Amino acid sequence: MNMKNIKNFRRHGDINFFPISKKDYSELVKNAKEEKHDGSFVVQLGETTGHRHIATIPDITKMKVHRLPDGGLLMSLDEDAVLTHEDHKKLVMPVGFYREVREREIDWFAEGLERKIID
C-alpha cells in the first residue's frame, strides 16, 4: 500500500477503507471468498451494541465484496456506495477498489498487547 493510499483512506467509526490498485485487488481476491449481498452488505456488526456498518449501492451488480482469510474485506465499486451506521454520519465511498482494515489498539502497559476494537 503506497503513502498516497494511506492519506486517502475512508474512516467510518472503527472501520477503515484503504484504496488499493486494481492490480493489488486482483492479487488479493485470489485468496478471498465472495460474499453475497442484495445491494446492502453488513461490513461489521457491533459485538456489544448490535449496531451495524452497512454498505449500500443501488445496482447490486456494481459492488463486489470478498472476505480475506484474515477476516478483512475487499470491495470493488463500479458506482458510489454509501456507508451507514446508527452512531455515525453517512459516508460516500467513491468508485474504486478498497481493502477494509479494522481499528486496533495497543496496550503499552501489557507489553505491547494488540487487540481489535470492539463496537
| Residue boundaries of the structural domains of the chain | 3-116
pLDDT tens digits, one per residue of 12-68: 556 788 899 999 999 999 999 999 999 999 877 666 666 677 899 999 999 999 999
pLDDT tens digits, one per residue of 76-95: 999 999 988 777 678 888 99
* Beta strand residue intervals within the chain, DSSP E: 10-12, 15-20, 33-35, 40-45, 52-56, 63-67, 73-77, 81-85, 88-93, 96-102, 104-107, 113-116
